[in-house]
Amino acid sequence: MDKHRLTVRPTPKSGESLTSFLFRTGISNGCDKMDIWRDIHTGSVHMLRSNLYYRLDYDFCLIDPKRLSRLLDITLDSIAQLSYFTVCSKFFNNPYQEYDRAMVMIQKALDKKSRKFCPSCIKQEDVYKLIWQLKEIDNCFIHNIKLESNVKLVDIPVVVADTNDLSQQKKTYHRWLFLLESDQMLTKRYGKLSMERSLALKLLFVAQNQATDYIRKDIVGFSKNLVKSLVAFVRGNSVVKKVTQSLLFEVLDYANMNIEQFSKIDVPKSYLNSILTVKEKKVSPSRACMTPWCCNSEHQRMILVNERVEPRKKGIRYPYYFVCEGCFMRYAYQPQPTNGRK
């Protein structure tokens, strides 16, 4: 495509998707939207298919934003607002470096089976909006009507899910508007923590009703495993559970807090330090070696094994393993549960 043919350069509209913007640009310049995509495309040429055109709204690695900026004389920030890149930038330091994680999070939130739309919005503005693609959104709260859908993107049987009540969906709608359109970040970065680990820290802080120090037993609205995973993630010891949009919304519901209030919360340094400071546990088995042939039975000379060497048995996971210094018999040890921080 001859770049100089794009003499008409429309301005992106609020909430508009990239596919909608390129479609309008093509019509204004008398060319096909696929020709424009071909000129700004990055990656495999096998992705340049009309049935994958909708992916441009969330797969930000399919285009070169600088090339599009030169082609249509629009800013990089304006281009970012046309896709779910703005959402990803609120969760990750660099969405391009965390591309796989960003795609997993966004695709779980999207309805990729069909195109939902508000006929009144399209009639008034002649644009397709990003927020209509979300699974959780079934209504237009500008015109207070239910979204319509008549274009299947893939040949997959449609499963009708239970919709939330209108008030809950309206709350979700405004949360997504914040993620898509607001320049305000969800959190600042604390110390050397990444954006995602800082978000995990703030979620724990809010889930504990904004206490000054972390105490696991005081977080009652969430599972023990979830809390432990988030704490390990903040400490940098584990990546099992990371922060997602759905987890953010779950914490907001628990705290009865809107997303703007959440973004303004500042986690005190004492809370971060209480998570990062791990008290060394003095662990010792309750008795000496129990084998009748052990010459070390009168002395509790048991050596702690740093690495877990035993499999789980009968659903019980033992946190500590010891080996007898005398006969090298191995033992699993489960200390008695105690209250307080862990």
Query: Are 136 and 72 part of one and the same domain?
Result: yes
**Is 111 within 8 Å of 104 (Cβ atoms)?**
no
Angle, CA of 274, 278 and 284, to the nearest 5° = 145
Is 189 part of a structural domain of the chain?
Answer: no
Q: Dihedrals φ, ψ of 3, to 5°?
A: -60, -30
Answer yes or no: do 42 and 98 share one domain.
yes
CA distances from 91 to 7, 70, 197, 261 (A): 37, 28, 9, 17
Q: Verify that 30 and 106 share a domain, yes or no.
A: yes
pLDDT for the residue 214: 94
Kindly state whether residues 220 and 334 are assigned to the same domain: no
Q: 132, 159, 181 — which closes off a domain?
A: 181
Q: Is 269 a member of any domain?
A: yes
Is 132 domain-assigned? yes
Residues 256 and 320 in one domain: no
DSSP count for the chain of H helices, then E strands: 13, 7
Domain region containing 269: 195-276
DSSP 8: -
Q: Are strands 145-146 and 148-152 parallel, antiparallel or unpaired?
A: unpaired
Helix, strand or coil, per DSSP, at residue 273: helix
Q: Which of 251, 276, 301 is a domain's end point?
A: 276
Boundary residue ending a domain (236, 260, 276): 276
Pair 64, 120 in one domain: yes
Strands (E), the chain: 114-117, 139-140, 145-146, 148-152, 302-305, 320-324, 330-333
147 burial via Cβ count (<10 Å: 0-12, 13-18, 19+): middle
- Number of domains comprising the chain: 3
Query: Same domain, yes or no, for 166 and 214?
Result: no
HSE value, Cβ hemisphere, 13 Å, CA-based, for 185: 14
Q: Using H for helix, E for strand and C for coil, what is the string for 228-272?
A: HHHHHHHHCCCCCCCCCHHHHHHHHHHHCCCHHHHHHCCCCHHHH
Question: How many Å apart are CA 167 and CA 176, to the nearest integer?
Answer: 14
Q: Are 222 and 208 in contact (CB under 8 A)?
A: no
Per-position pLDDT tens, the chain of length 342: 544 458 889 999 999 999 999 999 999 999 999 999 999 999 888 889 998 999 999 999 999 999 999 999 999 999 999 999 999 999 999 999 999 999 999 999 999 888 899 999 999 999 999 999 999 999 998 898 999 987 655 544 444 444 457 888 899 999 999 999 999 999 999 999 999 999 999 999 999 999 999 998 899 888 888 998 899 999 987 666 678 999 999 999 999 999 999 999 999 999 999 999 876 555 666 567 777 777 765 555 777 776 655 555 666 667 777 888 778 887 777 766 655 444
Backbone phi, psi, residue 56, to 5°: -60, -25
Statement: the pTM of the whole predicted model exceeds 0.85: no
73 in the same domain as 58: yes
CB-based contact 129:181 (threshold 8 Å): no
Same domain, 44 and 106: yes
Question: How far apart are the C-alpha atoms of 268 and 204, rounded to whole Å?
Answer: 12
Distance from C-alpha of 68 to C-alpha of 234, rounded to nearest angstrom: 37
Query: Does any domain span residue 174?
Result: yes
- SS3 (DSSP) at 178: helix
Q: Is residue 188 part of a domain?
A: no
Closest C-alpha among 57, 63, 62, 108 to residue 84: 57
Examine the domain organization and report whether 295 and 201 are in the same domain.
no
Q: 150 and 103 in one domain?
A: yes
b (16+ CB within 10 A) / e for 240-251: ebbbbbebbbbb
Are 126 and 23 contained in the same domain? yes
Q: Which residue has the tokens 């934003």?
A: 65
Establish if 86 belongs to a structural domain.
Answer: yes
Is the residue at 186 inside a domain? no
Residue 190 lies in a domain: no
Q: Which residue has the tokens 């992705």?
A: 47
Q: How far is CA 108 from CA 95, 123, 135, 311, in A?
A: 16, 29, 9, 34
Contact 303, 323 (CB under 8 A): yes
What pLDDT was estimated at residue 298? Answer: 58
